[in-house]
């Protein structure tokens, strides 16, 4: 979705009613992707990229996570660097509930 969104960028997403033209996040083959809705269908939404390199594809509603509201305002520059350090320190301190064999 360049130049609007860059790979790896953090965005805010909300589960609201989607319409044609919205950017949305969805699950596809084990990955989380962000593309523009080009058409709404009863069974899901048709997605494509702005550059026209991606073939339009239908994603079922249960795979659509929500509409992109905005990008993370803390993502760039010095502020983004400091936010990233803060976020990583919280993640390391967070208790993990994973069972290991």
The answer to whether 42 and 9 are in contact (CB under 8 A) is no
Arithmetic mean of pLDDT, 72-78: 57
* pLDDT tens digits, one per residue of 77-97: 666 566 666 766 766 665 555
**CATH annotation of 11-72:** 2.30.30.140
Arithmetic mean of pLDDT, 23-51: 90
Arithmetic mean of pLDDT, 45-53: 86
**Whole-number Å distance between alpha carbons of 61 and 58:** 9
pLDDT band at residue 3 using 50, 70 and 90 as cut-offs:
low
pTM of the entire predicted model: 0.61
**Whole-number Å distance between alpha carbons of 2 and 7:** 8
Domain positions in the chain: 11-72
Q: Mean pLDDT: which of 51-60, 63-72, 79-88 is highest?
A: 51-60
How would you label 27-36 residue by residue, b for 16+ Cβ within 10 Å and e otherwise? eeeeeebbbb
């Amino acid at each position: 979705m360049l130049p609007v969104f860059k790979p790896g960028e953090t965005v805010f997403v909300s589960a609201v009613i989607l319409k044609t033209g919205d950017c949305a996040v969805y699950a596809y083959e084990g990955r989380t992707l962000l593309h523009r809705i080009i058409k709404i269908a009863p069974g899901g939404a048709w997605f494509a990229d702005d550059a026209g390199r991606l073939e339009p594809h239908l994603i079922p509603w249960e795979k659509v996570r929500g509409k992109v509201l905005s990008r993370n305002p803390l993502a760039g520059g010095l502020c983004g660097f400091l936010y990233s350090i803060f976020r990583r320190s919280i993640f390391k301190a967070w208790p993990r509930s994973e069972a290991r064999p």
